[in-house]
């Protein structure tokens, strides 16, 4: 963090739809007074068409082209490189990963980062 600027919080969300969408909108909008909030995301069928309107205008939305519901190693490597590039540009103070695919990729990509990395599974299957 430099000067008097707010700390930077970077979320990565592989599938912004359903309950995850509601959660991240509420969370991001409640934090923008104290944090610069960035969200790296992918659009899914469940994502509302007017999704940007749900977010406070101070929330920075960054579409991640290579997030996919796939077990493809090639896609995972591309997504990891894109995540690393985004984080490098933002220089976040905290990185928070949501969903299993992003969680797995992000924990590998950001293993040696200075910023703390948190992972929250987004699915009932992980809670059982």
Cα–Cα distance measured from residue 28 to residue 12, given in angstroms and rounded to the nearest whole number = 12
pLDDT of residue 111: 87
Structure tokens, 101? 């695919």
C-alpha dihedral sign at 37, 66, 54, 99: negative
pLDDT for 3 equals: 52
What is the number of other CB atoms lying within 10 angstroms of the CB of residue 52? 10
pLDDT at residue 1, as a whole number: 47
pTM above 0.85, yes or no: yes
Q: 3-state secondary structure string, the chain?
A: CCCCCCCEEEEEEEEECHHHHHHHHHHHHHHCCCCEEEEEEEECCCCCCCHHHHCCCCCEEEECCCCCCCCCHHHHHHHHHHHHHHHHHHCCCEEEEECHHHHHHHHHHCCCCCCCEEEECCCHHHCC
Q: How far is it, in rounded angstroms, from Cα 14 to Cα 68?
A: 7
Alpha carbon 127 to chain centroid distance? Answer: 20
Along the 128 residues of the chain, how does pLDDT read in single tens digits? 455 589 999 999 987 888 888 889 999 999 999 999 999 999 888 899 999 999 999 999 999 998 876 678 898 999 999 999 999 999 999 999 987 888 889 999 998 778 899 988 766 544 54
């Amino acid at each position: 963090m430099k000067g008097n600027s707010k700390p930077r919080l970077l979320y990565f969300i592989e599938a912004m739809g359903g309950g995850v969408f509601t959660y991240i909108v509420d969370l991001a909008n409640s934090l923008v007074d104290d944090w610069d909030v960035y969200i790296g995301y992918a659009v899914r069928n469940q994502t509302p068409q007017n999704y940007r309107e749900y977010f406070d205008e101070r929330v920075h939305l960054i579409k991640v082209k290579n997030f996919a519901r796939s077990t493809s190693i090639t896609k995972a490597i591309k997504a990891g490189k894109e995540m690393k590039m985004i984080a490098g540009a933002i220089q976040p103070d905290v990185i928070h990963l949501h969903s299993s695919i992003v969680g797995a990729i992000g924990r590998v990509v950001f293993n040696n980062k200075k910023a703390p990395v948190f992972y929250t599974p987004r699915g009932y299957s992980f809670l059982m």
